[in-house]
């Protein structure tokens, strides 16, 4: 598909990743190929696309993300191959990247351009330490080192604000990304079934409306090792807050055209970003 700075076709991938690394990467490759055949220039993979298993095993597969392909582990090598083979920009959300603490890798969203080069990376800032009442205990901080920097990346001519899953509940991150020039946000996620059914669409639409940007949200769905259940509903939301594409049940993709003119129009017709005023913290 010819590249256009005005319109970019984007795909959000929906997976049911398990604890078998090679099988998960094969499914990613198949769905990225499907997205490209349908015209996508950018494909977003969900959080934990490469592995959904125990934290000990996740630490064991964490990789250094060096610029040189000769030092790639299996996940990085597979991502480069997918991008080059299909001539597509990959945003690979939520993979274990080694940190200075061997017990706590980063949860990293990696942008790989169509030539297979690492174009940007974002390390998840907000870690999921909650009890949501689904029988599972989530303590991401025990096994993950948090990032500390917001990242806006250029991808196929589009300015993407990078985030991962639980970040979605923190609007100040998306406001910083919008201030940094983002026209679309990516949200690779593995939302729990319990929280997803009530909060997923509400939060995605809110982030789009308040920042007048597209939101591209890839998702895990179904049952995973240890009885973990995720919500699915990979989707794309426009700057007015409308869901313009959504994946069906099971593995698949949500595909839509991101039009930069829609971002410009929304921000011009209802200029809430320009109307912001500094507010001091309340003191009682």
Encode pLDDT of 160-169 as tens digits. Answer: 999 999 999 9
Ramachandran angles phi, psi of 42, nearest 5°: -130, 135
- Specify the range with the lowest mean pLDDT, choosing from 2-6, 65-69, 114-118: 2-6
Residue owning tokens 């409306």: 209
The residues annotated with a catalytic role in the active site are 47, 124, 165
* Mean pLDDT over the full length of the chain: 94
Separation of alpha carbons 91 and 84, rounded Å: 13
Separation of alpha carbons 185 and 188, rounded Å: 10
Separation of alpha carbons 96 and 36, rounded Å: 25
Adjacent-strand bridge partners of 155: 158
Q: Is 54 helix (H, G, I), strand (E, B) or coil?
A: coil
Query: What is the percent of the chain with per-residue pLDDT over 70, rounded to a whole number?
Result: 98
84-121 pLDDT tens trace:
999 999 999 899 999 999 999 999 999 999 999 999 99
In angstroms, the Cα distances linking 84 to 4, 20, 77, 167, 257 are 19, 24, 11, 29, 22
Residue owning tokens 């392909």: 69
| pTM (whole model) above 0.85 | yes
Separation of alpha carbons 255 and 245, rounded Å: 6
Separation of alpha carbons 193 and 190, rounded Å: 9
State residue 132's pLDDT score: 78
Residue of 208, 65, 45, 200 whose CA lies nearest to 123: 65
State residue 55's pLDDT score: 84
Residue of 50, 61, 119, 53 whose CA lies nearest to 90: 119
The residues near 205 (Cβ < 8 Å, ≥ 6 apart) are 215, 237, 241, 243
Residue of 196, 244, 254, 203 whose CA lies nearest to 222: 196
Report residue 5's pLDDT band, with 50, 70 and 90 as the boundaries.
low
Separation of alpha carbons 28 and 80, rounded Å: 12
**Residue-range domains of the chain with CATH:** 7-269 (3.60.110.10)
What is the DSSP-derived secondary structure letter of residue 63? B
Tokens of 215: 């939101």
């Amino acid at each position: 598909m010819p590249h256009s700075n005005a319109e970019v076709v984007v795909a959000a991938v929906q997976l049911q990743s398990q604890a078998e690394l090679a099988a998960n990467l094969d499914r990613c490759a198949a769905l990225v190929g499907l997205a490209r055949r349908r015209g996508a220039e950018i494909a977003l993979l969900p959080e934990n696309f490469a592995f959904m298993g125990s934290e000990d095993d996740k630490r064991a597969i964490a990789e250094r993300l060096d610029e040189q392909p000769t030092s790639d582990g299996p996940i990085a090598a597979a991502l480069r191959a997918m991008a080059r083979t299909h001539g597509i920009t990959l945003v690979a959300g939520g993979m274990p990247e080694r940190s200075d603490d061997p017990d706590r890798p980063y949860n990293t969203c990696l942008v790989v351009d169509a030539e297979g080069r690492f174009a940007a990376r974002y390390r998840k800032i907000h870690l999921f330490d909650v009890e949501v009442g689904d029988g599972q205990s989530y303590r991401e901080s025990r096994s993950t080192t948090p990032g500390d920097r917001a990242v806006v990346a250029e991808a196929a001519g589009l300015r993407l604000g990078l985030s991962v899953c639980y970040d979605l509940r923190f609007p100040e991150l998306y406001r910083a990304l919008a201030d940094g020039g983002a026209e679309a946000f990516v949200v690779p996620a593995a939302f729990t079934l319990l929280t997803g059914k009530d909060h997923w669409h509400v939060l995605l639409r809110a982030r789009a409306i308040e920042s007048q940007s597209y939101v591209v949200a890839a998702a895990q769905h179904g049952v995973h090792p240890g009885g973990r259940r995720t919500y699915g509903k990979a989707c794309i939301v426009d700057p007015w807050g409308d869901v313009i594409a959504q994946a069906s049940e099971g593995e698949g993709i949500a595909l839509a055209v991101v039009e930069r003119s829609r971002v410009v129009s929304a921000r011009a017709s209802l200029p809430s970003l320009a109307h912001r005023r500094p507010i001091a913290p309340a003191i009682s």
